[in-house]
A and B are shown apart, each in its own frame.
Chain A
Amino acid sequence: MDNILSILVFFPAIAGLLGFIVDKESARVYGITVAAIEFLLSIWLWVSFDASNAGMQFVEMIPLIPDFGVSYYLGVDGISLFILIMAALMTLIGMISMSITENIKNMIITLLFLEMTMMGVFVALDAIIFYLFWELSLVPMLYIIGAWGGNLRIYASVKFFLYTFAGSLIMLVGMLFVAYIYHNLTGVWSFAITDWYALVLPVEYQLWLFGAFFFGFAIKVPMFPFHTWLPYAHGQAPTIGSVILAAVLLKMGTYGFVRFSLPMFPDASVMMITPIAVISIIMIIYTAMVAYAQKDIKQVIAYSSVSHMGIIMLGIFAMNAEGISGSVFQMLSHGIVSGALFMLVGMIYDRRHTKMLDEFGGLAAVMPKYAVIFGIMLMASVGLPLTIGFVGEFLVLLGFYQISPVMTLLAGTSIIIGAIYMLTIYKRTFFGPVTNEANKVLKDLTPTETWSLIPLVAIVIWLGVYPKPVLEPIDNSVKAMLEFMDEKAITKEAKELIIVAKSNQGGA
């Protein structure tokens, strides 16, 4: 199947359309089946993926608007492959563990459309098609937050939509400008990213364009100081919304940096290392401290998400194989871990209808299974060795150490602060005597809940112990990209910096 990417993108959309006909009572089973098939398709993609090939695979290209250079152009490489699989997995598991019963059919259809847009973003190799899926992903999320969310849901959903929409329009202008330059140089209109890679832009242009793309991606990540929409969105979203948002939608921003900003503007990226590293470190430390101050468990995890996204940003701008591979790996690990944590918070919320920390205490005695799984995910989130969180974080720090040991040290404090707030939550929620009467009668995880979490626990430990099968294809593609960036860079500093990275390649 050479066109497996198209199938991956459009299968959920077609299923979503047909879903309108499925009866309300059966909608949930329908959704889970579709998501399972989609996940199996993504596994099939992995199986047939050639790990030794660092370039784009399963490429499809159909000109859509040739006069304008827009074509339906898809492809997958080591960087996007695992994000795709993770997106399919989290949609499936999120759907299985979903506790929503109201308007379930609308929810299932919305999720299927959302899955289409997520798949589309990560396989698109044409800037306009990328932008298309990128923008389209806002609409289902708006509906999920706005229709099933908490009290402030409408404010939160509109804020989420407008923030991202405004940022991406600036990015769109940047894309149009790149296309214009490409047209000027070659006489052909093209929005294909692979064509754009070939452009060697003057540094001044690179800086402006880097800025334009930065707005689009940074709001999505979200980078400090554009992160204010995220706590609202997470705070108000239903569990499934938070899971998808944290696991997949945030990754679109960081993926955008890897796919667009670095290879297209290598010199500007190198020049921007320090500012972005500073912002990332502010993100890491500041939001970790904010997380510590939260009284709501979900908000703690929301802020810890921002903090972890800071680590990912730092790794991307380490400009070497360890850093970027570590970042991509950390995207996966954060997706799985934060998704699982949001699911866990959702489960306790379904039981107690509160997420406030001071309502809990001593849950380990009443809900042992829940406490164990929560504990494992928490450790992975903190970055305990032998869990998935450690691998990415370690590689990122190792990578950035080559740029600046001081900043790496500062970023490393995130592990300590992270451990502080996460363990505090754990202590206050699970240990000690059961003080609240309502907590004494809580039921432990149901079999559905347990079985939806166990695969995630398995992945967390498996990839923590043996990350190679995933890390290797990522590393191949990242190295190819770095070599290419090095060739393309025009300023001396950029060349030197990227060469330094190459000489250390053996490290990973």
Chain B
Amino acid sequence: MLQPINVSLESLNLVTLAPMLIAIVGGLVILILDLINEKLHKSLYVMLTILLLVVDFGATLGLGVNERGFFDVMLIDGISIISQLMIIVASIIFIPLALTSKRFHEYSYPEFFALFLFMIAGFQFMVASDNLILIFVGLETASLSLYTLIALHNRANSFEAAVKYFTMGALAAAFYAMGSAVVYGLTGSVELYKVAEVLATRMNETGLMIAIFGSSVLLLVAFAFKLSLFPFHTWAPDVYEGAAAPLVGYMSVVPKIAAFVVSIRIFGMYIDLGVEWVRVTLLVMAVLTMTMANIMALVQEDVKRMLAYSSISHAGFIMAALALDTTEGTTAIFLYYALFMFTNLGAFAMLWISRRKKKAFSNRYDHPYSKFAGFIKIMPVGATIMALFMLSLAGVPPFSLFWGKIYVMQAAVNSGYIWLAVVMGLNSAIAAYYYLKLIVYMFLMEPVKKVDVIYYNLSKPLMVVIGFATIATVGAIFYVQPLVSYLYYMISASGY
């Protein structure tokens, strides 16, 4: 006779699930609203999504640090809270970009907003667990939604982008599943903290290293795809080119935050166990990523592709911080993304408002450099704002990303990796060239054609978003201190 298992509701600690449930229920509500009345305007859905995200934000903020819940698969530690907060903030900035003055296909479907909320729930699951299966479920939920969001843009190259991303994503998922299977086979557990315990006791066994090697290589490949690290980055520029500009800005931040959190958990564990070559591999990949992506960005003719390569290069920067596996290094990851988020979303929003349905400047590209020639004479304010974003991405002080950069470099110096800091410095100098190229086009060249309006797509909500991103970029010096101390506190509280 089986013993009945009593599960008390308190022990489930269901509040840990609240943020994701809000997003999922919100998505369902949007679908139901559409069922009742088909003719609702996109602005309703945008505002509804923002409101749901605000509630989600509040629920996340209210979580206690270092709690577990729901059969102990949910892990609410410092990094899961800050990463969820960052994901939600980035989403709140992103979604009003739907309110363009021109009509774009995807936003007329309420499914877009429902899928968007499901995706956020997926990312939240990913970062709020150390259970390899739940991470996988979150990853797939989020990724499948994201592929659909890209395809909804409804152009030939966005279908291409979606399919390419899907294929690569599926491959990465397969590698992830295989890697997890090896880990499970080794330790009999899919919970990372138990995996770490078991591995720690067995570290001196002969032959174990090969198995650890296998598992970590498989997982490394999976996340290198997701984080678009060299040499698994080749999908990124094409996908970024095909997707809608704001979505690209979003994709270069939010999925990467989620993937970085999981990487911190998994690879941090390996490094803590003393598997030094994981660190070496990560460092090599990080250096190659930032350097190669930078060199490839130099020769791009399209601003969007250039920004795609630049965000790959920034991911390399952050990967280097991860490989340090110190509290400062981990803080640097989040600080960097928190600052990068505003600047990058702002830069892509600037591309978005200049988007025309027809390609007026080039047969191949939407945003060739020549489109921005003489921008200062046509729209001085727009050119100045875009230049600020570029300078910030290049790491010119006092704009936001400079503080992220010196924090990463300081973390590298503090761990004794001075050569890494020097490599980062040289890479920033290379990167300055292609950011500068856009500034040169905007400020120093004459307009190519007689263009009256470049801001084809501008509307008040977009101006608010861009204004907000600009303030966050320029005024970074004033909020870096509270941000750093909050991040540092949360991260050290959860033991990273």
Contact = CB atoms under 8 A, between A and B. Distances in A.
Interface of A: 64-68, 106, 128, 131-132, 135-136, 138-139, 142-143, 146-147, 153-154, 157-158, 161-162, 165-166, 169-170, 172-173, 176-177, 179-180, 183
Contact of A66 (B409, B422, B481): B481
A179 B328 CA distance: 14
Contact of A136 (B394, B398, B418): B398
A173 B440 contact: no
B429 A166 contact: yes
Interface of B: 376, 391, 394, 396-398, 402-403, 406-407, 409-410, 413-414, 418, 421-422, 425-426, 428-429, 432-433, 436, 439-440, 443-445, 477, 480-481, 484-485, 488
B481 A67 contact: yes
A132 B436 contact: no
5 contacts: A66-B481, A68-B484, A161-B436, A162-B432, A173-B418
A358 B434 CA distance: 40
B413 A176 contact: yes
A176 B436 contact: no
Contacts of A143: 443-444
Contact of B443 (A67, A146, A173): A146
B443 A147 contact: yes
Contacts of B485: 67
7 A-B pairs closest in CB distance: A169-B425, A166-B429, A132-B397, A146-B444, A65-B481, A173-B421, A176-B413
Contacts of A161: 432, 436
A173 B413 contact: yes
A146 B403 CA distance: 28
A106 B413 CA distance: 41
Given A166-B426, A169-B428, A177-B413, 15 more contacts: A65-B480, A67-B488, A132-B397, A132-B402, A136-B397, A142-B436, A143-B444, A146-B444, A153-B444, A154-B440, A157-B444, A161-B432, A166-B432, A177-B421, A180-B410
Nearest to A63: B481
Contacts of A106: 376
Contacts of A173: 409, 413, 418, 421-422, 425
B397 A131 contact: yes
A139 B396 contact: yes
Nearest to A171: B425
Contacts of B488: 67
Contact of A162 (B391, B396, B407, B429): B429
A180 B414 contact: yes
A172 B413 contact: no
A49 to B, nearest CB: 28
Contacts of A158: 433, 436, 440
A44 to B, nearest CB: 27
A466 B35 CA distance: 90
Contacts of A135: 396-397
A131 B396 CA distance: 10
Contacts of A136: 396-398
Contacts of B403: 65
Contacts of A183: 414
Contacts of A169: 425-426, 428-429
A165 B407 contact: no
B334 to A, nearest CB: 14
B409 A176 contact: yes
Contacts of A180: 410, 413-414
A247 B426 CA distance: 29
Given A139-B396, A161-B436, A162-B432, A67 B425 contact: no
A176 B410 contact: yes
Contacts of B432: 161-162, 165-166
A169 B433 CA distance: 14
Nearest to A178: B413
Given A172-B425, A180-B414, A128 B484 contact: no
Contacts of B394: 165
Contacts of A138: 396
A179 B414 CA distance: 9
A66 B485 CA distance: 9
Contacts of A172: 406, 409, 425
Contact of B398 (A132, A146, A147, A153): A132
A138 B439 CA distance: 13
Contacts of A65: 403, 477, 480-481, 484
Contacts of B397: 128, 131-132, 135-136
B53 to A, nearest CB: 29
B425 A68 contact: no
Contacts of B413: 173, 176-177, 180
Nearest to B407: A68
Nearest to A72: B477
A404 B428 CA distance: 41
A176 B421 contact: yes
A196 to B, nearest CB: 15
A179 B410 contact: yes
Nearest to B425: A169
Contact of B444 (A128, A131, A154): A154
Contacts of B398: 132, 136
Max chain B Cβ within 10 angstroms of own Cβ: one of A132, A161, A170, A176:
A176
A138 B488 CA distance: 33
A479 B441 CA distance: 49
A143 to B, nearest CB: 6
A444 B366 CA distance: 54
B426 A64 contact: no
Given A64-B477, A161-B436, A165-B429, A147 B444 contact: yes
B303 to A, nearest CB: 17
A172 B397 CA distance: 11
Nearest to A179: B410
